[in-house]
Amino acid sequence: MDPRRYSRVIDPKVRQVGFCPRSGQVQNQSGPTGPSTSPPVSHISPSSNSLSPVMIPPPRHPSDAASRAVNVPATATTPLRPRRPSFDDPNNNSSSTEQLVVSSYNPDESVLGTSPPFSGIGDDRDGDAESEFSDNSVNWIRQNDSGRFPLSLAPDGRFDSAAAKEKQSKKPQVGSRKERGGGQTAEVRNDLPSESKPLKEKTSKAERRALQEAQRAVKAAAKAGGNKSKAASLSAHEQTNKAAKLPLQRKDDGPVTSSAAVSERRGGERPPEKDRKKDAPAPRMQFDDKNRVEKAKKRSVVKQTEARNRVELFRHLPQYEHGTQLPDLESKFFQLDPMHPSIYKVGLQYLAGDIRGGNARCVAMLQAFSEAIKDYSTPPEKTLTRDLTAKVNNFVSFLIECRPLSISMGNAIRFLKSRIAKLPITLSEAEAKSSLCSDIERFINEKIVIAEKVIVEHAVTKIQDGDVLLTYGSSAVVEMVILHAHKLGKQFRVVIVDSRPRFEGQALLRKLVKIGVSCTYTHINAVSYIMREVTRVFLGAASVFSNGTVYSRVGTACVAMVAHAFHVPVLVCCEAYKFHERVLLDSICSNELGDPDAISKVPGRMDINSLHDGTNKENLQLLNLMYDATPPDYISMIVTEYGMIPTTSVPVIVREYGREHLLI
C-alpha cells in the first residue's frame, strides 16, 4: 500500500503534486470546513491556478498529509507530520483541531492520524514518543506507516524550506537575470516539491529537470499568451491568488492563516537578496546629523527657522518655528517653476494645518500628483519614467518640507513610484499618463474609499445594543463606524475623549450629537474615571508597524493602556495601506513635533497664560508631540479591510499585500 501511494504521489510528475490539494479540497467539502482554515488557503491557490507562481511550500505538506488522513481514516498516516506545524505554530494547529472536533468528523485521527483508541490522549500536544507508541500499537494494521514515518520526518518543516531557500537564492544567479520575475518563481515552484520529495523517494535528477523545463515552457507560454508585460503578468498572478485567498482570509482570525500564508509564500515571490535590501526602508532623515541637515537646507524651498528652545530628547526631529514660513511661501507662489501649482497648494495646506488626518492628507497628495501628471510632458531627450520619478521626488521633498510625511503618504508614494517604474516603454506618453492617473484613482478608491467601507462593515459587527463605545480624538474611520452603527439602529452610547491643544474630539462630538447619538465628552485625564462604564474602545491609527505597534495621535496609547487595565477590548480601525514594514518601539525615535506655543496658550484662561511670555526662558522647553506608539499588547484587534486581525498578524498583511500595494 505504501509504495503504491508513493508512486501515486510521485508518478504523475510534480504537476500531480500540485493537484493533490485538490483531493484535499474535496475532502474539505465532505468534512465541514476542512482540517483547518489555513491549509485550504494554500490548497486553493494552486488548484485554482495551476500555473501560479505560488508553489507548494514544505510546511504545507504535512497538512496535505493530514487532509489525506482525514480522507482515508483507515490509513491514518504519519502521526508525526502534523505535529510539526503544531510545534511551529501552536495557534494554527490548535485551532484546526478545534474545528475538527466541532465538525465531529472522525475527530480523533483528524490531525494526528492516531488510531481511535488513543484519540483520547492524542490531542495535538502530546509527546512524540506517545504518538510513536500509539502508532506502534496499531501498526499491525499499517506497518507501512511506521516505515513511512521516518521518511516523512526528514523532509518536513523548516529543514525543507531552508533547503528550498538556499536553492532559490542560488538559482536566480545561475538563471538569466531577465527571467527573475516570472521564471524564477516558476523555477522555485518546481524545485520545491522536487526538493521536498526526493528524500522520500528518489526521483531521478533528470526527471526533475525535465519537469522544470516543462513548467518553464508552460510559464513562458502563459506569459506570451497574456499580452501584457512580464510585470503585469506577475501581478496578475498575484491578483488571482489574492482573489482566491481573500474570502478565506476574511473569515479566519489572524495568525492562523497568517503563518500559513507566510510559509506558503516563502521562497515564492521573495525577491533576491539584492532587491530585498533595496526594499528595506531607508533610514529616516535624522536632524541631529549636521551635514545632512545642511545639505537638505540648501535644497529646500521652504525657509525654516529653527526653534530656539529645542527639546534635547528630540534633536533628531525637525524643530522649526511655526507660523513663519507661510507668508514667505505664499509670496513665492509664482516664482516656483518646478513645482506644480496643485502640489504647491497641497503643501501650503499641510503647512497651515488645513488638511489633517492621515487619509485626507494622503488623498489630497495623490490628487495633486494626479493633476501634476496630467500637466506633465516629457522634456526632449529624456525618458518619461526617469524624469517623472525625479519630478515626483522633487514634489515629495517639497511636501516633506511643509510637513513630515505620514506613513500612509509614504506608502502611497512608493506605490506611485513603482507604477511609474513599471510603465512599459511601449506606451506613449499620453497612455502612460492616463494609466498613471487611473492607477492613482484606483489606489484612492480601493485602498481608502472601499477599504473604509469594508472596515466599517467589519467593525459594526462588534457593536451591540447597549454598548458604550469610547473613542479618542477624531478618526475618520471610527466616525464612519459609529455613523453606520447608528444607521443600523443599534442602541449605544459614545464616550469621546479629547485632549489639548487640538480638541479634535469636539468636531466629532458635534457631528454625532447632530445625528442623535448620545455622547459623553471628557478629557484624557479623566479617561480612567470614565473607562469603568465603557465596553469597547475604537481607535484610529496613523500607521501600524510590523511589530504590531500602532502609531497614532498622541494620547491614543494612554487610552489603550487604561482600557487594557480595565479589561476593555481595544479595536484599532486602520486601512491596510497604512501598514508599514518598519518596526517601532517607542514614541521618541520617530515622531513629529507640533507647535510648542500651542501648549503654552490656554484659551480662556488668562490667569495661567503667563508661561507664554516665558517661552524663551532658557530652562523651559515646551514639547508638543503629535503622535505616540501604542504597544501591541494593549490592542485586542486591528480591523482592516482584509479582516480583523491580531497585532501579531500585521507583518503578514505587510508582506502579503503591502509590498507593491497591489491593486486588487
Partner 1 sequence: MPDMQGLVNELIDKLKKRDGLINGLSFVLVLMLIRWQKGEGITGTALQTAELLRSVISVQKLPPTNKAAALINAVRDVGEKLIAANPVGEPLASFCQLSVGNVIRRVLHIVREEDLSPSSDEAGDNEEEITWLRDNTAPYVAEIIRPPLLHMLHTFSSAEEKSKSYIFGRSRKLKNDVIEAINMLIEDVNICYELIAEQAVEHIHHNETILTLGWSRTVLEFLLAAKDKKRSFHVFVAEGAPRCHGHALTDSAVFAMISRVNMVIVGVHAVTANGGVIAPVGIDMVALAAQKFAVPVVVVAGIHKLCPLYTENPEVSLNDVRSPSELLELGNFSDCMDFGSVDGAPLVHVANPVFDYVPPELVSLVITDIGGHKPSYIYRLIADYYSSQDYVRYGKDALL
Q: Which of 477, 557, 568, 570 binds partner 1 (CB under 8 A)?
A: 557
Per CB under 8 A, 309 contacts partner 1? no
Cell of 190: 518546481
* Residue of 255, 270, 225, 265 lying closest to 45 (CA atoms): 265
Return the H-helix or E-strand segment holding 537.
Answer: strand 536-540
Per CB under 8 A, 570 contacts partner 1? no
Per CB under 8 A, 558 contacts partner 1? yes
Amino acid at position 275, single letter: D
Q: What are phi and psi of 19, to 5 degrees?
A: -85, -20
Tell me how far apart the alpha carbons of residues 563 and 528 are, in angstroms, rounded to a whole number.
Answer: 8
Q: Which of 33, 528, 535, 547 binds partner 1 (CB under 8 A)?
A: 528
Stretch that binds partner 1, among 295-303, 387-395, 441-449, 603-611 (CB under 8 A): 603-611
Burial class (CB in 10 A: 0-12, 13-18, 19+), 363: buried
Per CB under 8 A, 588 contacts partner 1? yes
Cell of 547: 511589530
Per CB under 8 A, 483 contacts partner 1? no
Per CB under 8 A, 523 contacts partner 1? yes
Is the CB of 432 or the CB of 495 nearer to partner 1?
495
Distance of CA 26 to the CA centre of its chain: 31
CA atoms in the 13 A half-sphere facing the CB of 383: 11
Stretch that binds partner 1, among 6-14, 101-109, 261-269, 508-516 (CB under 8 A): 508-516
Q: What angle do CA 392, 396, 398 make, to 5 degrees?
A: 120
Tell me how many residues contact partner 1 (CB under 8 A). 59
Q: Which of 293, 480, 611, 664 binds partner 1 (CB under 8 A)?
A: 611
Burial class (CB in 10 A: 0-12, 13-18, 19+), 150: exposed
Per CB under 8 A, 498 contacts partner 1? yes
Smallest separation (angstroms) from partner 1 to the CB of 448: 26
Is the CB of 476 or the CB of 611 nearer to partner 1?
611
Per CB under 8 A, 589 contacts partner 1? no
CB 185 within 8 Å of CB 269: yes
Per CB under 8 A, 406 contacts partner 1? no
Is the CB of 139 or the CB of 522 nearer to partner 1?
522
Tell me how far apart the alpha carbons of residues 46 and 543 are, in angstroms, rounded to a whole number.
Answer: 33
Stretch that binds partner 1, among 250-258, 267-275, 404-412, 505-513 (CB under 8 A): 505-513
* Residue of 102, 103, 131 lying closest to 117 (CA atoms): 131
Q: What angle do CA 223, 227, 229 make, to 5 degrees?
A: 70
Q: Where do we find the cell 477624531?
A: 474
Per CB under 8 A, 469 contacts partner 1? no
Per CB under 8 A, 520 contacts partner 1? yes
Is the CB of 61 or the CB of 502 nearer to partner 1?
502
Of residues 629-658, which lie at the interface with partner 1 (CB under 8 A)?
629, 631
Smallest separation (angstroms) from partner 1 to the CB of 491: 12
Q: Which of 468, 478, 530, 544 binds partner 1 (CB under 8 A)?
A: 530
Of residues 105-134, which lie at the interface with partner 1 (CB under 8 A)?
none
Angle, helices 90-103/255-265, rounded to nearest 10 degrees = 120
Q: Where do we find the cell 483507515?
A: 74
Give the footprint of partner 1 on this chain (CB under 8 A): 313, 495, 498-501, 506, 509-510, 513-514, 516-530, 532, 553-555, 557-558, 561-562, 565, 586-588, 591, 599-600, 602-608, 611, 620-625, 627-629, 631
